Structure 1
């Protein structure tokens, strides 16, 4: 029997109405189910467990929420390499595969083996202060280095390997994956990239220069960003806009392709370009 975990964004399904319907369908179709919450459903194949046990024991994870929910789960799953089926309870839904009305057809396809796995590259960002590694963050969309609330530009120097790329005076700098090319990077003027490609994008945010443009970098290169020693305003690093920390002058951020990727379950024939056309036409 297939083992499936369910991660639910409680703000999107407060009373577990959608979650319960999905759990009942899974149990009726001989799946073993792992979930964090007591749904008051009694079945020997329904297990209430913590998140780590759910991620490690499941053959795949159903994520109920929007793209933001998937971003958080993707970082948690980096250690486990467990596939995700994203169910859209949000608005935009670039990453989520299935609309709620189609969930049972998709689960039937998975039960019958009619699906494929799509790999999405992720980023690993190591922060160094002097000679010591301070923190490590993972991101599916982007790593953003940006100014604080004071209206001061950040001063950043970018290297690819040991090669100087440019010095930036800007509101910030984005290092994005192909998946992230339709997120913050798009708003900052970056290109749209097919999400299954393996590359990185360096995009300045509101640079104080007419020459600064997005740079496309091979995925086997290392990007190094250094905070200028003269920086006197606050600077922050965020991963997917959801977690991060404050940086100090002369901190260095080493950004590489993560060893593991996000594995998305695809159960329909919609292409990225179908999604792009439908999602962007009203923006």
Structure 2
């Protein structure tokens, strides 16, 4: 059995729109919220990119749902010590309902200060050290750390939640899944890949939660929905490591010129057939996910939430 949440896209919607979506998600019966953490959108058509820590503070005042970052890169753009303080404050504001989803990041967001963008193996080493620093700081003890990637000097976090902040580690390949199993309190991945989950569990993931999400586009006109996805999120269909290494929205726009509407139609759930939406979500629960977050692409948010409240969520197996 799984829990179902709504995925707030900071890249596509303004802060006020995201807050309204959070309210509607809770009213529709979603059980949790996830929120992206970007400095840039993937392309200019998406057009937004709010600061996630401000958004979490605002969300804490308008909803009682748990909030998870999907995902923050705690290694380059912001030092792990600053991320630790942000996570601690977020957990306090949400009364302990915050989970810190983290990953190795994308050049799109992390190169902005002029830092070199490391190769994947080094990014994983940096993430492991960052988790060590963050966990030490979240104890509330004074921390001094001199590691290969990070230095912390006489740092102590004073505003702390009653319980440690869970750290969920993202991974899209076997090495990253194994790292998540070893250092994470849970695993984040975005495709319903049972083999990848097995890799996470065999590497130390055991019974830890697995969470992930998918994008859909509800619309009464399937063709119009496909065009909406193709206009706003063609980057979802880019292969391999492009999402990790392309540095600007313009580069993503150039690469996305290779993405066709037919590719979108085959890969994304579009339209208003509840069975198709239910099947798409159940692919994740069947693969072993504990939490599945759904994101609606495009402007038809209220209609989407009404549709899921009445036609989709009641027919999904629930955790409670």
TM bucket, shorter chain: under 0.3
Under a length normalisation based on structure 1, what TM-score does the superposition of the two structures give? 0.28
Whose strand proportion is higher, 1 or 2?
1
Q: Find the structure with the greater CA-based Rg.
A: 1
TM normalised by structure 2 equals 0.25
More helix by share: 2
